Amino acid sequence: MSVLDDLAVKAGDDDVVCGVPARFVAAPASTEEAAALIAAARDLTVVIRGGGTKIQQGPPPRDLDLIIDTRRLAGVVEHAAGDLITVVRAGTPMAELHALPGQQLALDAPPTATAGGAVSANASGPRRLRYGTARDLLIGVTVVRPDGRIARAGGKVVKNVAGYDLGKLYTGAQGTLGLITECVFRLHPVPLDTAFVRATAPPTAVARILAAQLAPSAVEIDAGPGAPPEIAVLVEGTEEGVRDRAAALARLLDGEVTDLPPSWWDTPPWPPGGLGVKLTGVLSAVPALVKAVIAAGGTIRGSAATGVLHAGFPSGAPAGIPGVVGALRAAATRAEGHAVVLTAPDGTLDGLDMWGPVPGLELMRRVKDQFDPDHRFAPGRFVGGI
């Protein structure tokens, strides 16, 4: 009897990815067990599932035989506080990594999201302004390739970049190149104090915030039809430093200092069943992106200081979605960025270009062919149908 027979169970009603039901689910408990499972499943198409926080985003898989669930691949292997690193298994919930003694993995991800899922999606949130994305914080990785071979790259010190390109390759690959089983992350100290500054202000105020050189950790915006935009700024550091910088920002923006973020902080602007689009652009074009979303009847939120924003639209009028996406994509192109559809109402994905133009697509196809020549892992879930 193979490890596939031992681990795989019949999929249940909830084992569905973007409307496509799986046949089986398997949950390996170690890298070696995962490698044996993948080697034994060479004839099966595979989608990897962690906490499930993003699995329903993006295009549906062309086919789905097996879901590999990583939640038994969990736990902190090592926390080297002196080196500011941690080694964790891929299924470890982010809640554990947000609460390490005196230190943190500074990735804004849902508590139930997993470390491997955060890397696979290149996750980030409001604090990307200060700490970067998962790609910036990952310094080592262990993966199982689609042929069942185990590969390791990077190291356990921040300055070690040996083999780091493999980690970058798997970061943001959406599970199309194999299974991440272990991650090594750079950590940061937990700040002694934090404060938020909230103000009603136009997106052009972001330039003044950055020019003031007050070292904010995040500058977020929330804007929609019928209401003035709101900007919220996160300040972290020592108690005295936070107090002084927050007061200076409040004077600059004619805002108020609070201990808690606004209710919309780090939440998607689309309702269940609505249209959600990720928009990027250069900082000088953020006001134009905000204007384009509001003109289309949507709400826009996100990191106004890094040019990474999310637009949300209600679930009604599905016939108008291609036009909305086209208008936002044109605005993003003018902003020297991209517009990617993350989620859309049922029945609207057929014929909808979720990714738009992707530079380097042919290179990405060659990488996919090299790592997964049979196109078994997350088939059709990535750009260009990869």
| Number of CB atoms found within 10 A of residue 14's CB | 9
**What's the confidence (pLDDT) of residue 320?**
85
Last residue of a domain, one of 37, 71, 105: 71
Domain assignment present for residue 368? The answer is no
Q: Give the torsion through C-alpha atoms of 192, 214, 205, 325, to 10 deg.
A: -60
37, 119: one domain: no
185, 197: one domain: no
Cα(314)–Cα(368) distance, rounded to whole angstroms? 35
Domain assignment present for residue 41? The answer is yes
Query: Closest Cα partner for 46 from 147, 142, 116?
Result: 147
83, 183: one domain: yes
252, 163: one domain: no
Regarding pTM above 0.95, the answer is no
Mean pLDDT in consecutive groups of 10 residues from the start of the chain, 386 residues: 84 95 97 97 96 91 97 95 95 92 92 95 95 95 96 70 71 96 96 97 96 97 95 97 98 97 96 93 97 96 97 78 94 96 86 88 94 96 92
Cα 373-43-72 angle, rounded to 5 deg: 95
Domain assignment present for residue 264? The answer is no
Last residue of a domain, one of 258, 291, 307: 258
| Number of CB atoms found within 10 A of residue 65's CB | 17
**What's the confidence (pLDDT) of residue 154?**
83
**What's the confidence (pLDDT) of residue 158?**
52
Amino acid, res. 157: V
Domain CATH code at residue 205: 3.30.70.3450
Domain assignment present for residue 360? The answer is no
Torsional class of 56: left (φ above 0), alpha (ψ -120 to 50), beta (otherwise): alpha
Q: 């390739």: which residue's tokens?
A: 145
**What's the confidence (pLDDT) of residue 317?**
57
Residue 67's domain comprises 3-71
117, 154: one domain: yes
DSSP 169: H
Beta carbons of 65 and 44 less than 8 angstroms apart: yes
Any alpha helices (H) in 1-149, and if so which ranges?
Answer: 3-7, 31-40, 94-97, 115-120, 128-131, 134-137
Q: What total of structural domains would you count in the chain?
A: 3
231, 174: one domain: no
Cα(121)–Cα(123) distance, rounded to whole angstroms? 5
**What's the confidence (pLDDT) of residue 22?**
97
Domain assignment present for residue 132? The answer is yes
Report how far apart, in Å, the C-alpha atoms of 239 and of each of 102, 165, 213, 246 are: 16, 39, 18, 11
Domain assignment present for residue 107? The answer is yes
107, 84: one domain: yes
**What's the confidence (pLDDT) of residue 163?**
43
Q: 């973007």: which residue's tokens?
A: 18
Last residue of a domain, one of 165, 189, 213: 189
Domain CATH code at residue 175: 3.30.465.10
Cα(80)–Cα(77) distance, rounded to whole angstroms? 10
Domain assignment present for residue 159? The answer is yes
175, 102: one domain: yes
Cα(246)–Cα(215) distance, rounded to whole angstroms? 10
Any alpha helices (H) in 159-254, and if so which ranges?
Answer: 164-170, 205-211, 239-253
Q: 């910088």: which residue's tokens?
A: 245
